[in-house]
């Protein structure tokens, strides 16, 4: 008997509470690649945050799910270090990225998903719209904040900030105003809490204290 993959939850009588949501389900990144990225990133003296602001422009819901780097820049904080995970940025975003010194762009080294997974594994947080990187980061068990349009993909359900599929995911949803700017204000507030906690955990010398 054959089933379409998307019909398997029905065949298995799956419910939200029975979804087998492991902390991560991908194998560890090869140590050599992880070491290369740790060396490339240097000292871990600030919260490391990866960013993805748009998906495939040919996606049927791309106009709703994607945003621009200019809009996402509203959440940036000088006390964190930001890294672009955005492959093939659109012309406007490419120009914005080139003009900013507060976002590190190492995407030339992201030659496959293993490299992307290695970089994500070296970060403290990924903030992304609903793209393949969102699923990759979540499947690795990395803290992942996903920006969702007012009408999201069915897998993200409705009226909840967590995901039954991914324990390390937090969802930031548009309201009926369909404005990512408002969503990113909330992200910025929550990010400030993480930055404070990370900074407090650093040795005094790393914090610049005498």
Could you report the per-residue pLDDT of 71-96, keeping only the tens digit for each?
A: 999 999 999 999 999 999 999 999 99
Q: How confident is the model at residue 1 (pLDDT cuts 50, 70, 90)?
A: confident
Q: Which residue bears the tokens 């995911």?
A: 169
> Is residue 112 scored above 90 in pLDDT?
yes
Domain ranges across the chain: 41-201
Q: Which residue bears the tokens 């990866």?
A: 50
Closest CA to 125 of 194, 210, 205, 30: 194
Q: How crowded is residue 43: how many other Cβ atoms within 10 Å of its Cβ? A: 7
On the CB side of 121, CA atoms within 13 Å amount to 22
* Mean of per-residue pLDDT scores for the chain: 93
Backbone angles phi, psi at 14, to 5 degrees: -70, 140
> Is residue 205 scored above 70 in pLDDT?
no
Domain 41-201 CATH class label: alpha beta
Closest CA to 79 of 210, 168, 206, 180: 206
Q: How confident is the model at residue 47 (pLDDT cuts 50, 70, 90)?
A: very high
Percent share of the chain, pLDDT over 70: 97
Q: How confident is the model at residue 189 (pLDDT cuts 50, 70, 90)?
A: very high
> Is residue 206 scored above 70 in pLDDT?
no
Closest CA to 115 of 199, 17, 35, 57: 35
Q: What is the pLDDT of residues 10-43, one digit of tens each?
A: 888 888 888 878 889 999 899 999 999 999 999 9
Percent share of the chain, pLDDT over 90: 79
């Amino acid at each position: 008997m054959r089933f379409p993959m998307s019909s398997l939850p029905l065949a298995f009588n799956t419910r939200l509470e029975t979804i087998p949501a492991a902390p991560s389900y991908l194998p560890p990144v090869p140590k050599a690649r992880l070491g290369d990225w740790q060396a490339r990133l240097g000292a871990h003296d600030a919260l490391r945050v990866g960013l993805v602001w748009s998906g495939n422009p040919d996606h049927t819901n791309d106009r709703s799910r994607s945003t621009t780097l200019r809009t996402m820049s509203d959440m940036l904080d000088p006390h964190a270090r930001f890294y672009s995970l955005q492959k093939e940025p659109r012309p406007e975003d490419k120009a914005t990225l080139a003009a900013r010194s507060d976002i590190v762009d190492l995407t030339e080294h992201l030659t496959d998903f293993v490299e992307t997974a290695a970089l994500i594994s070296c970060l403290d947080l990924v903030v992304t719209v609903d793209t393949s990187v969102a699923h990759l980061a979540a499947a690795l068990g990395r803290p992942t904040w996903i920006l969702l349009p007012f009408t999201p993909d069915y897998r993200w359900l409705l009226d909840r900030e967590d995901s039954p599929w991914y324990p390390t995911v937090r969802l930031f949803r548009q309201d009926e105003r369909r404005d990512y700017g408002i969503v990113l204000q909330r992200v910025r507030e929550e990010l400030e809490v993480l930055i404070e906690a990370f900074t407090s955990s650093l040795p005094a010398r790393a914090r610049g204290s005498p």
